[in-house]
Structure 1
């Protein structure tokens, strides 16, 4: 898609220099940056998810009583 946007002169110059250093086009740098921004926003909106973390075993050991922190 062809579109026109206004970009701060300093930011544009920095992006052009980065593109040159990476041997990429300005388009590739801008698309990559925009993609990263969109992904971060989607993750932020999705909220925090605690990953499932379980351990193999059969629960507490026979000599440990539930809630006995001193014994642990």
Structure 2
């Protein structure tokens, strides 16, 4: 499901117009992104958890030469 399919499905389910539904979904996404950027974890029971994670550095390779990047 992509964002437009989500907007369409929610608009049908709630009876709201697609523009208002799209704005509500955009506001939700913005709120989650803002909280995660601040370092918070967003947990929505039954939906998912959003947080930042640390990854170890890795060595990249040039696919043509095999040299480390």
TM-score when scaled to structure 2?
A: 0.45
TM-score, with structure 1 as normaliser? 0.44
Larger Rg belongs to: 1
Query: Which structure's relative contact order is higher, taking Cα pairs within 8 Å and 6+ residues apart?
Result: 2
